[in-house]
Structure 1
Amino acid sequence: MKSTENLRFLLNYERLTQELKQIADKVLAEERITFDDAVYLYEHAELGYLGVLANFIREKRHGDVTYFNRNFHIEPTNVCVYDCKFCSYSRLIKERAEGWEMDVDGMMDIVKKYDQEPVTEVHITGGVVPKQNLEFYATFFKRCKTHRPDLHIKGLTPVEYYYIFKKAKISHYDGMKYLQSCGLDSMPGGGAEIFHPEVREKIAHDKCTAEQWLDIHEQAHKLGMNTNATMLYGHIEAYWHRVDHMQRLRDLQDKTGGFQTFIPLKFRNKDNQMHYVAEVSVVEDLRNYAISRIFLDNFPHIKAYWAMISRNTAQMALSFGVDDIDGTLDDTTKIYSMAGAEEQNPAMSTRELVELIKHVGRHPIERDTLYHVVTDYKEVVFEDENPKKQYYSLPVVN
């Protein structure tokens, strides 16, 4: 593979420090890098070096394959009891006039809108309000599964679950088990932000702690659920805070094996209480994806949300460790655009997404939530928006 040749060439590059050569040796030998190694990469490694290492790992695991899925989002409310300083999306309880709060019927109306569409997943997350409690979501999950049993429900984050379970006076395990029995299939990775209390206390002091976030994921893993994990980067954190965050995720993954995908989330400074913090560059975005891929050796997938970072940056990220660029989405997804994402209308047709991937020499695969192949688009010729041929033979590495 060309990525192996590039890595071997890199090892002979005279300008590399001894530390960078040692880290590259570990990557070539498929050995785990340390906490200190990762901090050193953030502080000293150039973009090209990181791209070679991350792409080597990416292609070793997934070749040229790039995954996406056909999904839609439901955001039950943007009203929230929490006051996260970085959030451009939510409105505090006292600001209800500027927000929305759906009932179960309203959420089901969105589900029914996609009855004739070949979507495989509904992604549910939003603010936290008292009336959207345990039974509210239990009712919705049951109705959603009764209406469309094949639709995978990826619902809520530990921030929402912690509040819901505490209010219901139920343990994390029992709460997750109950909602799983109602139809919940998996959990997205939001609400992680930065785990270290030095940062978390400043940007999200009143939401669940890192330990509580991790425990809810652990209980989900015990129940056989797969989940994702995120990290909000590029604000007031230091590099070592990022590594501390990923270390905690890597440790839990060693224990449970339940995480599927890691998703770095870029801080956006539009219309929030941290508007004075400058956003990091695209170069820093790519460096962060690459180091994530190198450090999180036990995470199968690294995802870039194209709607948050732009289509062009997502294409570049596919050479810096990323193998998944999320889904087709639709224009109901307000979290991205309200935060100042470059994609103000976060919708892309399947054809557009496939062509975006192919234009950078990658192999597009439509997946379901659990990374089973739905359609292999490598040689598909489009007529309107429907593929002429489908392939199911490609093995998926999890």
Structure 2
Amino acid sequence: MKIAIVGGGIGGLTTALALSQNSHDITVFERSAGIREIGAGVQISPNAGRLLHLLGLGTAYSDISVNPHRVVLRRWEDDSIIRATDLDESFISQHHVPLANVARNELVEILGNAVAACTNVTLKFSTHVVSVEPGESSSKVLFSDGSSQSFDIVIGADGIHSVVRRCVGAADKPRFSGSAAYRALVPRSSVEDLPIDVTNRMGPDRHVVSYFIGRNRSHLNLVCISPEDSWESESWTEQGTKEDLYSRFEGWSSDFLSLLDRVEEPVFRWALYDREPLEQWGLGTTTLLGDACHPMLPFMAQGSCQAIEDAVVLARCLSGVGTSSASDSLRRYEDVRQGRTAQVQTSSVMNRDLFHMVDGQEQRDRDMIFSISPPGMSILDWVYEYDALTVAI
């Protein structure tokens, strides 16, 4: 089948790579001038990491991955450890691959290289899709230059501001969460003494996640969440200031504030929006994938992972399928994925409330429960043990 993918980010490129193994004729339309990705760090948990290995990215993916030794929860005012979970051999044995932290641009680069090597995939850059006309037997893609092209299937992997989503009648109803995220980088040379951990510092209405990313651990990635009541831009490219970031965490531990002192400019910020799970992902021979259909708050670190799962399930649903059953196959993909992604979206909202508790009895109870819980990451088994390759379709 002739398949169009709108969007050349992590979700779109993974979809192209997965579909290429089914002998489809695939075209990826990307608005930017080349393979690039905005953002800094991405956490790839085992449910997605296994899939990247199975798609043939093993060595390239391992080369860009930083595998943390622990996940550590710390208290905001003194950096005391509430809980530390080892990501040791028993974790890897259970889940088959380690947890990995990667630089987003490096992940997109290796995906792009793999897709470019596929003879049945065409990458078209600087191509602005302005609309899609879904149909039962084919769908038409319309471009900014006035031209159009028909495909047996169109997949919208075009992110939170998806054009394709509007065209399938799926209403986007963002709700401002009242928080903004700041992302910043600290060069490795300034933090050589830090352990290779994923650290989550929890405080009243705020929390900070930090972990190393990049080849040879080039940087420490910081994602700092704080309240916001006057600025609501969801763009990932808007710059904040180091001074503004610092002011939002006054009174936090001296160890953490010393990290902020070492942050490189520029600092980026974006407003965080919550969305109810969409009831409709597709229409006719058009469907959605990744942030286009299930954008989620970052408190489960699953946005990219869920897009990777989507890609593999969609490729399975379209394996051996002809044009006469394309629409039915897309509805099957949507049925398989909607419950799973809705659960992750809901859990992300719950984690926000858990991480941001104000100091008091409820917070002390939370910390005690974290500290006495059994060793390991079993609370996340439902996330990490999902297998997109074997889930019933």
TM-score strictly above 0.5: no
TM-score range (shorter-chain normalised) is under 0.3
More contact order relative to length (CA 8 Å, sep ≥ 6): 2
Q: TM-score, normalization: structure 1?
A: 0.25
Higher-strand-fraction structure: 2
Q: TM-score, normalization: structure 2?
A: 0.25
Higher-helix-fraction structure: 1
